[in-house]
Structure 1
Amino acid sequence: MEVQKIEKSKKPAMVVLISIVISIIVLFIGVMGMAMLARLKAPPAEAKNGERPLRVEALQVEQKDIQVFITGHGEVKALNVVSIAPEVPGKIVKIHPRLEVGEIIPKGEVLFKIDPKDYITIRKISSQRLKILKRSQELAKKEYERVRVLFEKNKVVTQAGVEKAEAAVLSADDLTKQISQVLETAENNLERCEVRAPFNARIKSVSLEKGQYVTPGQNIVTLADDSVLEIHVPLDSRDARKWLRFNKDETKEKIAWFSALEQAPCKISWTENNNGQTWDGRLHRVVKFNQQTRTLMIAVRFDAETALKKKLRSLPLVEGMFCSVKIPGRTLHNVFRLPRQAVSFENTVYIAVDNRLKTIPVKVARVEGENAYVTDGLNAGDMVVTTRLIDPLENALLEITNKT
């Protein structure tokens, strides 16, 4: 019985031992399999820890002579604007059928007419009276000659009689002159009853109705002469001093005013037009200096023929249009033209030297539109970085993308 018990207790121990051996074999096979799979996988490529370049665009600069242009703005105005006022009082009896704002009245046509009846009457009466006075003047002269001869030859009349006859002649002469003046005034007033257009006129304003009573000096019509137009352009006094081209004053008279401007051609463009239409004008004169804004007002002039030149679906250049004017100034010699964004606010630029970034200070002579003109700090052939960079590291590696 004891032997059987011992044999029964040995059987579980054998089962446990066999399970442990099998587990070890399985683990060994798994480890070996993983090792074999690991050896089959290729090792990853070793990453290169190199310097990464900045990708930029650059421009090789050259020295050039650059024409400076000053840009200003102003409104087109007619050179001659006339306010029409009657010279004689009276009632309006006739008005031009097209006397309306914006209409064009040809030169010489009657704008309006004042009732001439009173002046016709005065002329008629004065004319009749003048004929009578002239006859009286002739009789007085004959009487004076007769009395004078009688006094000088025969002493028939007295000296007082001669003087009386002479006074009658002088009185007749004076009355004749007075009536002649009245007649001339009446004829002039008759002419003034009809007010005519002094030129091919555009009506700017009208304050007139038929039957209205008007008085001398009362402005009732305003006319504009659009044959010659001007734009008054205010320029910064510093720009004017540096770049405007004045003629040398060769006159002997000493006048505290600006010398004459060179009559340089200018380009005019209407700010509301985006089709590239431009007109030609010329610098004419300095109009005034504005002490409040410290600006110099200059006049650019052009004629109607120029103003009417236009492209398809464009408008002519007329009074009231707000325009941009491009004015040629002096020439900058031996300067470098750079894109505006290539120059920092501290007046420095970035250049590429052996594909490395270098910062250099420059002297900017002028900024005009999208261009900056540099006089000092660069050399011909330098590669200037035109890409806008924000706080780049000095001596950073560069890759120029637009290099050919």
Structure 2
Amino acid sequence: MNKSTKIIIPIIIVAIGAISMFVLFSMKEAPAKREVHVKPKIVTTEVVQLTNIETLVSGYGKVKSSQPIDLVSEVNGTLISGDSDFKPGLSFNRGDLLIKIDDRQIKLKINSQKSELMSALAQMLPEIKQEYPDDYTIWEEFFKNIKFDKNLDRLPETNNEKVKLFLSRFKVYQIYFGIKDLEIELEKHYFYALFDGSILRCNKREGSNVRMGNIIGNVVNLEDYEVEVSVSIDDVNWINNEKIITLNNKEFANKWSGKLERIGSAIDSRTQTLTIYISLDDNFKSMIPEGLFVDAEIPGKIIESAYAIPRKAVYNESYVYLIDNGKLEFRKVNIARYENSYAYIDNGLNDGDTVVVELLQGVASGMPAIPSINTRSERSM
């Protein structure tokens, strides 16, 4: 056996073995493929019933008087008590004398000037009676009405130029207007209440000396309370101006009501909010203290033909899952408004749709699902 024959025979043997193995493997039956079954996911759903939804804007604010007033002295003198004590926290009624400044000197000045006026008129009247008898009665009546305990009457008017000369010559005009100026100064000694209110602060007490420009105290108007509430810019557009607003405080059992008075125009750059002003109903003004912090529930505009679902069930700000024919459907909807933990949908849902109201993870459109249907009463709005 030559050398080439020794090489060819092993090669032939290996080739025959390989062919035999291939034939044997091809004759073996392939194993049957196992069918994959996807287990349906049970999800919480609701059956859609479109309704008109009244929105609600929430805010937090503080009760304030719309008329806090500083009592500023315009004269010098010593403080004297009024109709009641001048102390912080005390209430007063319209027309009460809150406090006054010693008025004895100014009254003496006024009466001194009235005496001069009476002397001037006493000298002038005989001449008017003799030369202008038609005007005498008017000026005599004015003279008789001059009293030391009351303000001067209005100075009689005359078109007679010669009577005016008499009045000027005897300095009646000068004395009269000097008295009226002193009467105005006398009024500045008294602080009368222009409204029902309360004393917030007292900078001066009875017996203190005050000078012009000193702030004696601070009072607030209890007839005109309002609540300042900060509201986000987006929420302002949803406020219903015609509806009654409810106010409450956790420390008080009662609730109060009011109405929107006005909306501020300045935006808080830090919080991006606007201030709205709510006036209180008259029945509640005496029941709510100034400075109290309150929660405001402000009725909003109505969204027609809408449905509310939990905010967590909205994906990518505009998609929700539904179940249709036992499978999940990923549908685009329009969110009209987010309010607290809910989203109000006004387009994309129809009556009778089965919408998913829970957060789903690891799912996709087309996957089988079984609805576990909630009723609206099973969740709180």
TM superposition score normalised by structure 2: 0.71
Q: How does 1:385-396 map to 2 (within 5 A)?
A: 385-396=356-367
Q: Deviations over 1:51-73 (max 9, x none)?
A: 43323211011222222222222
1:129 matched residue in structure 2: 116
2: CA distance between counterparts of 1:383 and 1:295? 38
Q: Match of 2:46, as an amino acid?
A: L
- Does the 8 Å CA contact 1:58/1:385 hold for their aligned counterparts? yes
1:237 matched residue in structure 2: 233
Equivalent of 2:94 in 97, 101, 107: 107
1:379 matched residue in structure 2: 350
- Does the 8 Å CA contact 2:55/2:299 hold for their aligned counterparts? yes
Equivalent of 2:54 in 55, 67, 72: 67
Deviation at 1:367?
0.7
Residue 299 in structure 1 maps to residue 277 in structure 2: yes
Deviation at 1:342?
1.8
1:289 matched residue in structure 2: 266
- Does the 8 Å CA contact 1:136/1:172 hold for their aligned counterparts? no
Deviation at 1:98?
3.1
1: CA distance between counterparts of 2:364 and 2:311? 21
1: CA distance between counterparts of 2:340 and 2:360? 21
Q: Deviations over 1:295-351 (max 9, x none)?
A: 44332211341355xxxxxxx433222222222333212222212222124422121
- Does the 8 Å CA contact 1:288/1:298 hold for their aligned counterparts? no
- Classify 1:373/1:94 alpha carbon distance in 2 versus 1 (closer, same or farther; 3 Å): closer
- Does the 8 Å CA contact 2:47/2:373 hold for their aligned counterparts? no
How many residues of Structure 1 are paired with residues of Structure 2 in the alignment?
312
- Does the 8 Å CA contact 2:45/2:373 hold for their aligned counterparts? yes
- Does the 8 Å CA contact 2:262/2:277 hold for their aligned counterparts? yes
3-state SS, counterpart of residue 194 of structure 2? coil
Q: Deviations over 1:109-163 (max 9, x none)?
A: 2221211221122123222222211112224546878xxxxxxxxxxxxxxxxxx
3-state SS, counterpart of residue 380 of structure 1? coil
1: CA distance between counterparts of 2:43 and 2:246? 36
Q: Deviations over 1:199-255 (max 9, x none)?
A: 2221111111223222334321211112232123333334434x345xxxxxxxxxx
Aligned residues with identical type, % of pairs? 24
3-state SS, counterpart of residue 99 of structure 1? coil
Equivalent of 2:166 in 169, 173, 178: 169
- Classify 1:278/1:392 alpha carbon distance in 2 versus 1 (closer, same or farther; 3 Å): farther
3-state SS, counterpart of residue 227 of structure 2? strand
Q: Match of 2:110, as an amino acid?
A: R
Equivalent of 2:70 in 83, 89, 92: 83
Q: Match of 1:364, as an amino acid?
A: I
3-state SS, counterpart of residue 125 of structure 1? helix
2: CA distance between counterparts of 1:392 and 1:274? 48
- Does the 8 Å CA contact 1:202/1:226 hold for their aligned counterparts? yes
What are the ranges of 5 or more consecutive residues in structure 1 without an aligned counterpart?
1-47, 146-164, 246-261, 309-315
Q: Which has the larger radius of gyration?
A: 1
Residue 117 in structure 1 maps to residue 90 in structure 2: no
TM superposition score normalised by structure 1: 0.68
Residue 224 in structure 1 maps to residue 220 in structure 2: yes
- Does the 8 Å CA contact 1:61/1:337 hold for their aligned counterparts? no
- Does the 8 Å CA contact 1:133/1:172 hold for their aligned counterparts? no
1:264 matched residue in structure 2: 243
- Does the 8 Å CA contact 1:76/1:231 hold for their aligned counterparts? yes
1:365 matched residue in structure 2: 336
